[in-house]
Amino acid sequence: MSTPSRGAVELRDLIGARELDGLTVLHLVSERSPVRDVALVTDFEDIGSVGPDTVVLLSPGGARGGWMISAALRYAWERRACALIVPEQPFTGSVVELARRLEVSLLTTGRDMTRLAIDAAIRLGTARAETMARVRAVVDRLSGAVDPSQAVALLSEELDGASVWIESAGVRTFGSPQRTGESSSAPAGQLVRTRLSPRDRGLGILVARLPAPMVGFGEQLLAEAAPSIRALLREQQVSATRDSLPTIAITALTGMPGIAEFVEPELGALEGSAALPFDGSFVAICLRSDDPERLGALVHQLWYLAFRENPLTRFDGGWFGILPAPDRESLDAQIDRVRSGFVRTAGLPLSGGASRRHSSRAEARDAVREAWLAARLADPSPDAPVSEAFLEFDGIRPAMIGRLVPTDLADQLVAALYPRLSADPAAGQVIDALLARLSALGSLTGAADRLGLHRNTLKSRLRRAGELGVDLSDSADVLPVHLLLSAVRRTEERSRTED
C-alpha cells in the first residue's frame, strides 16, 4: 500500500509562484512532478545525499561550467530528484540534451540562490497547506455522496478523469466510467492503493490508476477519502440488512434451527413489507462460501450493483436473496446474472443454488429451503462446470445427495465411528475396497475390476474392514457408510487439488 506524504505538492506549484519569479525553464519533464523537499547545495557531489522528488538548487561555486552542471544532473538522476536549478550562465545544447535524456527538469535563474532557496521552502510549505485544503474540500463533497459509485465518480473527476475503483478480494466492484479509448486490459498509468479499513481487510481497497506526476496528490486524496468510502459501504450493508430483516427471517423460512443469525420477525412486519416481490412470481437465491467473512464485503457490493432493489440477507454459511421472476425467461436471465456475476467471478470460492419459481407469500418458506438445498448440493470445486457450481433445484440428481455429508467433518466422523479403521496404516486401501464394493452393488467381480485387483485381494481387504469395525451386514448401514466414506474421498481429492 502507498504511504502518502502529507500535503502533496507538484513542481508547477513552485515554478509558477509569484514569490519565485525569475526562473527560466531549459527543460521541463512535467509540471506535475511531485515535490517533497527543497535543498540548497554548494557542491554537486552533495546532491548524493538528497532524497527523491527534491528540487535541488546549486550554488554558483558548484555550477562553474557545463561539466559541473552535467555531473550535477547525473547525481540528481541517481537520487531521483525532480528538478535542478542552477545560476544563470551560457548553456550548451549538450547540457540540455542530457537533462532531457535523464528526465530531470533543468531551470536557471539570475537571483541569489540562498534567497531563492528560502522563498522556495516557504512556498513549499504554503503549497502543502493549499493541497490539504483542496483534499479536505473533496472529502467534504464526499459527505454528500449517496452511494459508493457516486463517491468514486467524484474522486475520478478530481483526478482529471483517472480510473478509480473499489477492489474487494481481488475483484473490481464500484468503478468510475472508463475513459473513451482507454483499454481495460492494460491502461497506462501507475496504480495507487489505499486500504479502506485497517482492521477489516475484507472490506477492500480504493484504487486509482494515475499518470506518474499525479501519484503524490492521488495518494493523499485516496488516503483522506478512504473513511468516507468505508462509511458508505458500511451504510450500504446496514441498509441491505435492515431492508431484508422484515422480509427474510431465515429461521422461520427454512425451519432449520441454528442456520440463521436473525430473530424471527413479527408476522405483521411480513404482511406490511413490499421489499420482496411476493405480489408476483419470484425465485430464491442462495450463495455459499467456506470463507464468508473475507468475501462478505465483495458479495454485498456485487449484489448491490446487480440487484440494487432486492436486499441480500446474510446467514452463518452465506447469503440469501429473492429476485422477481414473472416468467421462465426472466427466471433464466436472473440465474444467468448470478452465475456470471458471482459464481464465476475471478475464481471466487462461491457456490450457490436457485429455487423453482414461486408466486405467493405462502411459498416463501419452500423457496428459501429449495435454494439452500440446491446450494448445499452444488459442487464448490474450482474446476466444476458452472451448472454444477450454481445448481437449480430442478437440476438436483440422486447421485448428488451424498454431498450432504459435510466433507470438512468426514474424517472426524470416521475417527469417531470407526476409530480402528481411522488408525490403521492401510485405511486408504480398505476404504477404496469398501467404496468399490458398494458402488458395484455388492458384486465382488465388478468391484475388483474397478480397482484392478484380484478377487482374493479384494476379499482380503473387505475382511480386514470387518475386523476394523465396519460391519455392513445390516442393510440400514449400507447407504450411510457409502455416503460417509465418499465424503472422506472427496476431502482427500480436494486437498490434493489445493496442494
Do 203 and 62 reside in the same domain of the chain?
A: no
Domain C-terminal end among 352, 380, 403: 403
Is residue 131, in this structure, part of any structural domain at all? no
pLDDT in tens, 375-385: 888 887 777 78
- For the ranges 83-87, 334-338, 491-495, which has the lowest average pLDDT? 491-495
Same domain, 399 and 414: no
Residues 338 and 468 placed together within one structural domain of the fold? no
**What pLDDT is stored for residue 23 in this prediction?**
92
166 and 287 part of one domain: no
Residue 98 pLDDT grade (very low, low, confident, very high; cuts 50, 70, 90): very high
Domain identity same for 158 and 117: no
Q: Are residues 301 and 377 in the same domain?
A: yes
- What's the pTM? 0.55
Q: Do the beta carbons of residue 26 and residue 107 sit within 8 Å?
A: yes
- 190-195 and 205-210 strand pairing: antiparallel
Task: Note whether 162 and 64 are same-domain residues.
Answer: no
Whether residues 168 and 220 share a domain: the answer is yes
Total domain count for the chain? Answer: 4
Q: pLDDT digits over 119-162, tens only?
A: 999 988 888 888 888 888 888 888 888 888 889 999 999 888 89
Tell whether 70 is covered by a domain.
Answer: yes
Q: Which domain holds residue 384?
A: 245-403
Q: What is the pLDDT of residues 463-482, one digit of tens each?
A: 888 888 888 777 777 777 87
Q: Is residue 178 part of a domain?
A: yes
Indicate if the pLDDT at residue 73 is higher than 90.
yes
Beginning with the edge strand found earlier in the chain, give each strand of the sheet holding 163-168 in spatial order.
171-175, 163-168, 205-210, 190-195
Same domain, 160 and 257: no
Is residue 3 in some structural domain? no
**Residue 417 and residue 453 in one domain:** yes
Any idea what the CATH number is for the domain that residue 43 is in?
Answer: 3.40.1390.20
Using the predicted structure, report yes or no on whether residue 46 has a pLDDT greater than 80.
Answer: yes
Q: What is the pLDDT of residue 78?
A: 93
**Where does a domain end: 376, 403, 430?**
403
Clarify whether residues 25 and 48 are in a common domain. yes
Q: Is residue 290 part of a domain?
A: yes
Q: How far apart are CA 246 and CA 268, in angstroms?
A: 9
Neighbours of 397 (CB within 10 A): 8
Same domain, 475 and 492: yes
DSSP character string of 467-491: HTT----SHHHHHHHHHHHHHHHHH
Residue at a domain's end among 60, 95, 126: 126
Tens-digit pLDDT profile for residues 417-464 = 888 888 888 888 888 888 888 888 778 888 888 888 888 888 888 888
**Which CATH number belongs to the domain containing residue 295 in this structure?**
3.30.70
